[in-house]
Amino acid sequence: MTLRVHLPARARVTVSSLSWFLLAGGLAGVLVYTWSVSESWVYQETQRAQLPEAAPPVLAANRVAAILPRKWFPPDPLVLGRLEVPRLGLSAIIRDGVDAPTLRKAVGHVPTTPLPGEWGNSVVAGHRDTFFRGLREIARGDRIRVVRRNGVAEYIVDGLAITGPESIEVMQASADKRITLITCYPFGYVGSAPRRFVVTARSIASTDNGDGH
């Protein structure tokens, strides 16, 4: 037996309008997400091409650079280098600042802390669902590299911690060369995550060719 429900004409128009509204909203969301991902990828790849010791991803950057007018991807003066965790295949451009536009397309250096490679504790933050997603697999003893325009700084992970969002101990000054990576936690949390995942690493090597940061 087939049950048929007859809706008034006005109700049918309302349901149809709602369906089109939801469809349009979904398409708009997909377009916004696609644009955000594309912007981030183009920024990362073209800025990689400005740094020495090019890793394999820079090959894609060079192809982009060959196609697009140079005025579309000038060197960003706020780029400090490229952060790498080789074992995890993690690689991301470091940009000075932790504002929303920066963290949307790079990992951000906390401006009140020393620059990567300098004496003291350099703090870098990133989103857990983009550039720092791979940190969920990091372990003590892993190597971290920061490729700068004037050299390379290398670190070894010596600490992992989960803290509250207001914890300031992670940004404490240090007498030696260190780097601290911060992202939200838990990694799979939906919405604004309540805690922070912190990776600390000490310097094991540094080179400097004197060309600026």
CA 182 → CA 79, 87, 125, 157, 164, distances in Å?
Answer: 18, 18, 5, 13, 11
Which listed residue (6, 109, 127, 213) is catalytic? 127
Residue 109 is a catalytic residue: no
Residue 176, number of CB atoms within 10 A of its CB: 9
Residue 184 is a catalytic residue: yes
pTM for the model: 0.76
pLDDT at residue 99 tops 80: yes
Residue 84: pLDDT band by 50, 70, 90 thresholds? very high
pLDDT digits (tens, 9 = 90+) for 128-170: 999 999 999 999 999 999 999 889 999 999 999 999 988 888 8
Q: Average pLDDT over the chain, rounded to whole?
A: 81
pLDDT digits (tens, 9 = 90+) for 24-39: 555 444 444 444 456 8
Q: Which residue from 80, 85, 192 is spatially nearest to 129, judged by alpha carbons? A: 192
pLDDT at 29: 41
Q: Which residue from 73, 88, 124 is spatially nearest to 103, judged by alpha carbons? A: 124
- What is the rounded average pLDDT of the residues 97-112? 96
Which listed residue (6, 109, 184, 213) is catalytic? 184
